Amino acid sequence: MSRRRKFHSSPKTVSHPSYDGSVEIVLIDREPILEEWRKRCAEIEKSLREIAAELESFHSEAAPAYSVWLSSHFGAELTAVRELTDQLYEAEVVAAAVRAEIEVRDVPDWKAFETVMARKKTGEDLFPESFFADEEDWEEGWSEVDPFKDYSGDDSAQGSEADRQSTDDEQHREKVESEARRENERRERDFLRKERKQKDQEQTDQAHFSFVESTRSAPAKDSAEIRLKALYRRLAFLLHPDANPTLTERERQIWNQVQAAYQKGDANGLELLLVRIESANSDWLDKVEHVSVLQAVWESKRKEFRIARSEINRLQRDSAWKFWSTRNSESARSRLNEETESALVKELLRLEAKLRVLQARFARLSGQRNTSRHRR
């Protein structure tokens, strides 16, 4: 048998790049990011302008035109609805006063109706203050009731036994409350001790972190302070009341916000306020040099857009909006005319039916009153 020669392969050595402890800084071109956020801000601002124009057109043109159209086509129906609504409200007040009189005075319904109508005839209040006296006395009486006292015993023997039982119950209750109070105090001491220890540790960690940060970011802090002061000087030049005595109310409010942001050291807040001042110019987006400010502007305008959009959705359910949407269509306007007439007729019938029910009830009560007088 021939011997096979064995070859043992030596392990391969893998070379690793050497690391000398230095940090490589990669420069990123932020201009494309700025352009992307400027584009977003421009789009949301355009949408806001369109919605604002639509709302302005509705309030200045559509709503007044709808009122004129409604009055000219359905003036008589509207007057009838108004009169019936007033009559129904007056009848419902009388009915409520009659119910209150029955409950408080415990009198027959015809007698309560007679009293209420007499008050109405002389111009008195249909719900006099005496209605609420018993209720107030009842509520005040509860303040004198001892919730731990037994009021069931009337004679002396029962009273004595009740007093002894009440004393035992009182002692037991005080014992339970004392034990619970001591347990709560112990838990509170443990909690405060643990909280104090945790707070001391947090203060130690914060002091260490502040020391490390102060040694690392001194140049960054100087740069942020320079930016803060530059923004404040720019805003002060535009908004300071001494230099600009003709400021509008909006500009005065922004100046107050500038003061608050500067005291907090909020440079991004100052830049956002500067954007609000310069947003009247067409090129204001090009002047913003920080992505965070553009993001804040976009978020703020998006909230405005949502609010305006919800207002549009609410108005679209309004009759004036439906009228406005039919301004360029004769057939749609004709359908709206029929729908409005039908709705007014239904409302008139509904009000008349409710009023007839109350009037029939009042007539029955008046008849009972006359019958009672004849019997006497």
Query: Looking at residue 9, what DSSP letter applies?
Result: P
> Looking at the domain assignment, is residue 42 inside a domain?
no
- Within-domain flag for 51: no
Structure confidence at residue 360 as a pLDDT band (50, 70, 90): very high
Domain for residue 206, yes or no? yes
pLDDT at 26: 56
Identity of residue 111: K
Number of separate domains in the chain: 1
Are the C-beta atoms of residues 289 and 34 closer than 8 Å to each other? yes
> Cβ–Cβ contacts within 10 Å for residue 270, how many?
24
Which pLDDT tens digit goes with each residue over 153-185?
Answer: 544 445 555 566 666 667 767 777 777 777 767
Whether residue 289 is contained in a domain is answered as no
For residue 23 the two structure tokens come to 């940090």
Domain assignment present for 205: yes
d(CA 232, CA 226): 10
The verdict on residue 200 lying in a domain is yes
Rounded CA-CA distance 283/263 in Å is: 29
Query: Within the chain, where are the H helices?
Result: 31-57, 63-105, 109-122, 133-141, 156-216, 218-239, 249-264, 267-278, 291-315, 319-325, 330-375
Q: What angle, 0 to 180 degrees and rounded to 10, lies between the N-to-C axes of helices 218-239 and 267-278? A: 30
Question: In which residue are the tokens 């553009």 written?
Answer: 294
> The tokens 């801000």 sit on which residue?
41
| Residue whose entry in the numeric block shows the structure tokens 């608050």 | 260
Per-residue model confidence as pLDDT tens digits over 292-340: 777 877 887 888 889 888 888 888 888 888 888 888 888 888 898 899 9
Residue 12 pLDDT level (bands cut at 50, 70, 90)? low
Angle at 47 between CA 41 and CA 49, to 5 degrees: 100
- Structural domain harbouring 204: 154-216
Instruction: Tally Cβ neighbours within 10 Å of residue 354.
Output: 15
Residue 28, H or E segment? none
338 or 284: whose pLDDT is higher?
A: 338
Cβ atoms within 10 Å of 287's Cβ, excluding its own: 11
Contact 369, 114 (CB under 8 A): yes
Mean pLDDT for the chain?
A: 75
41-73 in b/e burial notation, b at 16+ Cβ within 10 A? beebbebbeebeeeeeebeeebeeebeebbeee
Residues 17-43 have a mean pLDDT of: 71
Instruction: Give the confidence band of 370 by pLDDT, cuts at 50, 70, 90.
Output: low
Buried b (16+ CB within 10 A) or exposed e, 288-327: bebeebbebbbeebeeebeebeeeeeebeeeebbbbbebe
CB under 8 Å to 354, separation ≥6 — which residues?
88
Q: Is residue 136 part of a domain?
A: no
Task: Tell me phi and psi for residue 250, to 5 degrees.
Answer: -60, -45
In a domain, 177, yes or no: yes
pLDDT band, residue 216 (cuts 50/70/90): very low
